A and B are shown apart, each in its own frame.
Chain A
Amino acid sequence: MLEVKGLMVFYENALAVNDLSLKVQAGQVVGVIGSNSAGKTTLMNTLSGLILDQRIKELRKGGERITIMGKVIHEGQDISDMPAYERVRLGIVLCRERHPVFPDSTVLENLAIAGHLRSKVEVAQTTELCFDLFPNLTRWRRRKAGFLSGGEQQMLAIGMALVVRPRLLLLDEPLLGLSPAMQEKVVEAIRSVREKTGVTIVIAEQFARPILPMLDFGYVIENGMLTLTGSGRDLMENPEVKSAYFGL
């Protein structure tokens, strides 16, 4: 479904992603595991196309020059230069890190804004699905998103991505800043999303322990480079992963 070939991303002279290649098959849950500054967010921004917009903005304000090399191929089509909004139309939807919601809009309004590409009926259906997946949100339908807890905002952010009815859902650090109990809830919700919608999911995450068991395939990256690949179970058994991510 998605293939990345020899991706390299430079922020000025700093190499954030170094010759990275990966494949995502339809229906899979694929994980990109890496510690801080491994290049996860850069990879997700490249897959979603947001980095192209970032590159233009930096260029225009004379900031850091962002150089992108390599290819992103979606169902045989090279989308490396396709802007983010067009990739969303293809069904590639990114849920950015740190629960990006519209703080001054209510939960329902947030979902409605996110689903503007869809008909009202579709949005209503997916909204109900979101409330099924995230029951915590149900009682806060008309509450401003900025007043929700961090975990609830994360759930809402995932819900907003779902309203677009993605074919490929990119989740960038969905567990960031959440308590272990809340992390479990979000992981459970991601699992339900997959079961109920069959959407292909790519998760970039540094908390490997809760994520690895649900992965069909995982990539471990460090300093922008691919260091390990394998199924979720293989990676869980890998001594290097155990040492680096489980502290064992």
Chain B
Amino acid sequence: MAAQDTSKQVTRRRERLDRGIKVRSEDIYALNSWREALYLLAPRALPVVALVLLQLLAPEYWQRVLISTTVFALLAISWDLAASSGMVCLGQALFFGVGAYLAGIMNHYLGLPPGLTLPLATLGGGVICTVLLLPVLRLRGIYFAMFTLILPLMIERIIEATKVFGGTEGLSGLTPFSHPLWESFLTMTALWVALFGLRRIMASDYGLVLKGINDNDRAVMSAALNIYRYKAQALFLASATGAFAGAFMTHSYRFVGMPVFALDYSILPIASAAVGGLGTLAGPALGAFILVPLSEMLRGLGGLRIVIYAVLLVVFTVGLPEGVFHYLRRKYTQFERWTEVGK
């Protein structure tokens, strides 16, 4: 009755295996040797060291670009955190703008120094944005996204029409940071705290719930968890991160005005996430570090800059849809080889 084809035939297939060092460096065993410990440490420490060195050694213009890149990386992390929790935002400019205006208002009208406006605007921005979006937390997908897209545009028009907070002129002459180096290292520290802190949260049981909401919110509800509470908390974390970026830029530019609600602050984080790789927080940050300097490098091309930028974006998303970060991580932890399959 049994009818197996027994003819011997050998073909080859590509096999993907974890690197030995990856397996050896899992858990506490990583402490067995420097090599294993370095294997774990290198991908985390190298970007930190590289960024510090760049910030210290790069020409002044590129130092400014780095600061701006770091700010966009924060926005990209904020976008990815919300998206990983089932809230795809099209309006990162809302978080950025609210944080920026809060810092500007506190500095301009109350005379508070950046040391106070930054934390207050971060927390206040987080609370305001969360409260603004609370009524739409039940919406999913494109409906939630549309609302987040409209809100910053709406606030922009309100400021324009009512002429509050300087109206179209904005608030200028705000207190700058005391030292350029302090400015660079503050934004870098914020980036690492957000990146490593939020990654830690997403790797915990709490993060599992957030990812679960993204995957299948009804299944999470069935596990007796109030998904709207979790979504509100994730939204607070995401909006506080974005608000910090906005507040920082207010003091960096010594100005806050309607442009802080511009579409750039909403689109670039999404493009960064698409290029870097979704769902890892590090991927979108890496994407920002590719796209923002790239945009600056192409500045000399004038009008063609946008065309080339768009083409490169297409190349990245079509050629490497998993994202640069996922690709690099896979290559770092796994290797491939041909293997024979005998029949």
Contact = CB atoms under 8 A, between A and B. Distances in A.
Q: Do A and B come from one complex?
A: yes
A62 interface: yes
Main secondary structure of the interface of A (DSSP, over half): strand
Interface residues of B, number: 20
Contact of A12 (B3, B16, B341): B16
A50 to B, nearest CB: 20
Contact of B341 (A61, A69, A234): A69
B5 A60 contact: no
B16 A60 contact: no
Contacts of A128: none
Contacts of B3: 21, 226, 229
A65 B322 contact: no
Interface string B312-323: 000000000110
B12 to A, nearest CB: 10
A6 interface: yes
A8 interface: yes
B35 to A, nearest CB: 26
Contacts of B16: 12-13, 65
Given A8-B341, A13-B16, A69-B13, A62 B330 contact: yes
B49 interface: no
A230 B13 contact: no
B1 interface: yes
Contacts of A229: 1-3
Given A21-B5, A69-B11, A13 B322 contact: no
Nearest to B342: A19
Contacts of A63: 322
Interface of B: 1-5, 7, 9, 11, 13-17, 321-322, 326-327, 330, 341, 343
Contact of B321 (A10, A60, A225): A60
In the A-B complex, list the 6 residue pairs whose CB atoms are closest, starting with the nearest: A62-B322, A67-B13, A21-B5, A60-B321, A61-B322, A19-B343
Interface size on A, as a range, is: 20 to 34
B5 A19 contact: yes
Nearest to B326: A62
A227 interface: yes
A209 interface: no
A67 B15 CA distance: 9
Given A19-B343, A62-B322, A13 B2 contact: no
A90 interface: no
A10 B330 CA distance: 19
A228 interface: yes
Contacts of B322: 60-63
B17 A234 contact: no
